[in-house]
Amino acid sequence: MIHNGNVSSRTIDWRIVDLGRESYVPNQALRNFIISRDKTCRFPGCRQPSRIGDIDHVKSWDTGGETNPEISSRSAVDIMY
Protein backbone atom coordinates (compact mmCIF):
# COMPACT_ATOMS: atom_id res chain seq x y z
CA MET A 1 0.00 0.00 0.00
CA ILE A 2 1.28 3.46 -0.82
CA HIS A 3 0.34 6.23 1.58
CA ASN A 4 1.39 9.80 0.81
CA GLY A 5 4.07 8.49 -1.56
CA ASN A 6 5.50 6.04 0.98
CA VAL A 7 5.09 2.30 1.11
CA SER A 8 3.91 0.92 4.42
CA SER A 9 5.77 -2.31 5.17
CA ARG A 10 3.00 -3.26 7.60
CA THR A 11 0.37 -3.40 4.87
CA ILE A 12 2.36 -4.47 1.81
CA ASP A 13 1.27 -7.62 0.02
CA TRP A 14 4.57 -9.51 -0.32
CA ARG A 15 3.18 -11.54 -3.23
CA ILE A 16 3.26 -8.34 -5.29
CA VAL A 17 6.90 -7.45 -4.57
CA ASP A 18 8.54 -10.88 -4.26
CA LEU A 19 9.01 -11.97 -7.87
CA GLY A 20 11.60 -14.63 -7.07
CA ARG A 21 13.21 -15.94 -10.25
CA GLU A 22 10.20 -15.08 -12.45
CA SER A 23 11.57 -11.69 -13.49
CA TYR A 24 14.97 -9.99 -13.47
CA VAL A 25 13.37 -6.55 -13.63
CA PRO A 26 11.52 -5.31 -10.52
CA ASN A 27 7.89 -4.30 -11.03
CA GLN A 28 6.66 -0.84 -10.01
CA ALA A 29 5.38 -2.03 -6.63
CA LEU A 30 8.82 -3.42 -5.74
CA ARG A 31 10.58 -0.28 -7.03
CA ASN A 32 8.27 1.90 -4.91
CA PHE A 33 8.91 -0.26 -1.85
CA ILE A 34 12.72 -0.15 -2.20
CA ILE A 35 12.83 3.59 -2.90
CA SER A 36 10.64 4.29 0.14
CA ARG A 37 12.56 1.89 2.37
CA ASP A 38 16.11 2.86 1.44
CA LYS A 39 15.78 6.63 1.00
CA THR A 40 19.41 6.73 -0.26
CA CYS A 41 21.84 4.54 -2.16
CA ARG A 42 23.01 1.55 -0.08
CA PHE A 43 26.58 1.65 -1.38
CA PRO A 44 28.87 2.53 1.58
CA GLY A 45 29.44 6.27 1.71
CA CYS A 46 27.01 7.14 -1.10
CA ARG A 47 24.17 9.49 -0.17
CA GLN A 48 22.42 9.77 -3.56
CA PRO A 49 18.62 9.65 -3.21
CA SER A 50 17.29 6.16 -3.98
CA ARG A 51 14.70 7.60 -6.37
CA ILE A 52 17.47 8.50 -8.88
CA GLY A 53 19.52 5.33 -8.49
CA ASP A 54 19.30 1.99 -10.19
CA ILE A 55 17.66 -0.93 -8.45
CA ASP A 56 20.05 -3.87 -8.51
CA HIS A 57 20.35 -7.30 -6.94
CA VAL A 58 22.49 -7.77 -3.82
CA LYS A 59 23.14 -11.36 -4.92
CA SER A 60 23.83 -11.51 -8.65
CA TRP A 61 20.93 -12.73 -10.78
CA ASP A 62 23.44 -14.94 -12.63
CA THR A 63 24.28 -16.81 -9.43
CA GLY A 64 20.69 -17.35 -8.28
CA GLY A 65 19.74 -13.93 -6.92
CA GLU A 66 16.03 -13.26 -6.72
CA THR A 67 13.95 -10.18 -7.49
CA ASN A 68 12.47 -9.44 -4.07
CA PRO A 69 12.73 -6.82 -1.29
CA GLU A 70 16.29 -7.96 -0.59
CA ILE A 71 17.55 -6.24 -3.76
CA SER A 72 18.86 -2.76 -3.12
CA SER A 73 18.93 0.74 -4.47
CA ARG A 74 22.29 1.98 -5.72
CA SER A 75 23.25 4.96 -7.78
CA ALA A 76 24.29 4.21 -11.35
CA VAL A 77 27.80 5.52 -10.68
CA ASP A 78 28.33 3.14 -7.77
CA ILE A 79 27.19 0.12 -9.76
CA MET A 80 29.91 0.72 -12.32
CA TYR A 81 32.68 0.16 -9.75
pTM of structure: 0.69
Total structural domains within the chain: 1
Q: How far apart are CA 49 and CA 66, in angstroms?
A: 23
Supply the range of the domain harboring residue 34.
2-79
Q: How far apart are CA 81 and CA 39, in angstroms?
A: 21
Phi, psi dihedral angles at 68 (to 5 degrees): -150, 180
Give the model confidence (pLDDT) of 13-64 as tens digits: 666 678 888 888 888 888 888 888 888 888 888 888 988 888 888 888 888 8
